[in-house]
Amino acid sequence: MLRRIGILTGGGDAPGLNAVIRAFVKAGVRHRNLAIVGVEDSFNGLLDTPRRLRTLDLPSCRGLLHLGGTVLGTTNRGDPFAWPSPEGSRDRSRALAVAVADEGIEGLVVIGGDGTQAIAHGLMTRVGIPVIGVPKTIDNDLAATDVTFGFQSAVDCATDALDRLHATAEAHDRIMILEVMGRDAGHIALHAGVAGGADVILVPEIAWNAESVAAKINARRAVGRPFSLVVVAEGSLPDDGDARPARERLRAGHGAGAIAAAALHRVLDADIRVTVLGHLQRGGSPVAVDRILATRFGVHAANLAAERRWGRLVALQNGAVVDVPLGDAVGGVRLLSPQTDPLVAVARQTGIAFGDEPTAFSAEG
């Protein structure tokens, strides 16, 4: 007898979501006797009237592997524990449990970041919905897994942007600042900066000051390199004594790139331009590495559902796809470790500055 399992995508999208859905359906339908129900727009598809659900069979998964976005839709407004309504937020978690039972769905596979996994964990522990989590974020900052799909696609997008900026920076002797995503963690900035030959990488985990960045730029000028590429993560701010909370400063200053440019203008006579890469990093086709990782995650989730191993989160650890307690995904953000991250050391040894160095730079190219 077929068992009905729901699948949904929650929070911000990431390249590879469709590849997970496709792999889950293929493995579940072909090999594990599962009938898959897609829930539209995160948990909303089960809470809206009428419900928005669709059968995901093998034909409906054709052509999904390379598509960005998510065919199921997603949202970051629809927390069943804090459902938005004109009278204030309401707890609709029990209504969700009723809808799941009413649809004959045995359990849910939830593909999402830390916020969505925290909701999934709550649904399991507080209202008894069986759940399996699949981690997702382009930021690659979930502690439970070494890598998330979507990260490499975002890094490649940012690297391509740096390659393009390199040519125009050199043509005009300009300082080009590229703002990339990374609200809390600087993984995208670090990886793209190394891959794209940035001169300076500014991340939230390393306090930086404009004088140090200017010293690096001036050291390059001194050896006949009058242009520079600076990558800044969207959550990175200068250490300039401004005590306002980061979010307030970023809102008032129109983003990390603009704030970095203003700080550099104060200490440097230079032509500076800012490019904000924004959601270009999230859309688009997943690169091969992400398609493969997403496919591995989808198959593992199908195996967990088939074996009724609820309350698990799929993860990649030391190259192997494993599963860990879903609670591990809750609140566990993995930041860059400036002292121990080998790529930070490699970057420094290849002459990339992080804005925390002394202002007396040796001459370099």
Contacts to ligand F6P from residues 94-133, by CB under 6 A: 113
What binding mask, one character per residue, do residues 151-190 give for ligand F6P by CB under 6 A, x or -?
A: ------------------------------xxx-------
Span near ligand F6P by CB under 6 A; candidates 48-56, 86-94, 136-144, 326-334: 136-144
Q: Is 204 in the site for ligand F6P (CB under 6 A)?
A: no
Q: Is 78 in the site for ligand F6P (CB under 6 A)?
A: no
Distance CA 189, CA 162 (A): 11
Binder to ligand F6P among 41, 139, 205, 323 (CB under 6 A)? 139
Angle of CA points 144, 149, 155, to nearest 5°: 110
Minimum distance from residue 20 beta carbon to ligand F6P (Å)? 17
Minimum distance from residue 183 beta carbon to ligand F6P (Å)? 4
Question: Which residue type does 58 have?
Answer: L
Minimum distance from residue 152 beta carbon to ligand F6P (Å)? 14
Distance CA 202, CA 353 (A): 8
Binder to ligand F6P among 74, 137, 153, 159 (CB under 6 A)? 137
Among residues 139 and 290, whose Cβ is nearest to ligand F6P?
139
Long-range pairs, 59-65, Cβ under 8 A, ≥24: 60/25, 61/21, 61/22, 61/25, 61/26, 64/18, 64/19, 64/21, 64/22, 65/18, 65/19, 65/22, 65/291, 65/295
C-beta separation of 219 from 200 below 8 A: no
Question: Which residue type does 249 have?
Answer: R
Q: Is 323 in the site for ligand F6P (CB under 6 A)?
A: no
Torsion of CA 164, 168, 171, 176, to 10 degrees: -110
Among residues 41 and 106, whose Cβ is nearest to ligand F6P?
41
Two structure tokens written together for 250: 């970023």
Q: Is 334 in the site for ligand F6P (CB under 6 A)?
A: no
Axis crossing angle, helix 187-195 with helix 342-349, rounded to the nearest 10: 40
Q: Is 12 in the site for ligand F6P (CB under 6 A)?
A: yes
Active site residue 139: yes
Query: Which residues are marked as active site?
Result: 139
Q: Using CB under 6 A, list all residues that contact ligand F6P.
A: 12, 113, 137-139, 181-183, 234
